[in-house]
């Protein structure tokens, strides 16, 4: 099973979502950016590395949001999501066809990868909306 970290990257009350490349198995699907954990790497280190590789920016990883397991035909993933904030760098997407900053309400307009759908559903619960405007403890 692959262990994957995903960023709920907040900026001005919106969350970054990214569209998978047309060459990807999940082409056109939207996701919370992140990637696979490497041996010996913590999930926090993984997320910092992946966001830097995919967008050229540095992030601070905050509180754990949620975890779920999804079974794709190609194999299973255990996906861990964390709240993140952008700290430095100029965003230049290199691994996605498109990126958008969206509100929680706007997320229903996007076709998310199946492993990300539980996070979208949880975000839509009112009690999670305060994370978009308030600070949180950094890991």
| Residue scoring higher pLDDT (13 or 80) | 80
Domain-by-domain residue ranges, the chain? 2-132
| pLDDT value for 129 | 55
Q: How would you classify residue 11: left for phi > 0, otherwise alpha for psi between -120 and 50, otherwise beta?
A: beta
DSSP H or E run through 118: helix 117-123
| pLDDT value for 128 | 53
| Selection from 119, 18, 17 nearest residue 68 by Cα | 119
Q: Residue 133: is its pLDDT beyond 60?
A: no
* CATH superfamily placement of domain 2-132: Nucleoside Triphosphate Pyrophosphohydrolase (3.90.79.10)
Structure tokens at 86: 């952008």
| Distance set, CA 89 to CA 96, 107, 114, 127 (Å) | 18, 26, 30, 31
Instruction: Summarize pLDDT for 96-114 with one digit per residue, the tens.
Output: 999 999 999 899 999 999 9
Are 88 and 118 in contact by the 8 Å Cβ rule? The answer is no
Confidence of residue 27 (pLDDT cuts 50, 70, 90): confident
Instruction: Summarize pLDDT for 30-84 with one digit per residue, the tens.
Output: 999 999 999 999 999 999 999 999 999 999 999 999 999 999 888 899 999 999 9
């Amino acid at each position: 099973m692959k262990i994957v970290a995903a960023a709920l990257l907040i900026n001005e009350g919106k969350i970054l979502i990214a569209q998978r490349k047309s060459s990807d198995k999940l082409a056109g699907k939207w996701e919370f950016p992140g990637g696979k954990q490497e041996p010996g790497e913590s999930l926090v280190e993984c997320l910092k590395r992946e966001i830097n590789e995919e967008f050229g920016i540095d992030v601070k990883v905050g509180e754990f949001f949620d975890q779920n397991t999804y079974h794709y035909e190609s194999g299973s993933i255990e996906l861990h999501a964390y709240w993140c904030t952008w700290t430095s760098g100029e965003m230049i997407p290199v691994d996605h066809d498109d990126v958008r900053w969206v509100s929680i309400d706007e997320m229903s307009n996007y076709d998310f990868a199946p492993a990300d759908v539980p996070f979208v559903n949880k975000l839509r619960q009112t009690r999670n909306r305060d994370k978009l405007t308030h600070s949180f403890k950094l890991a």
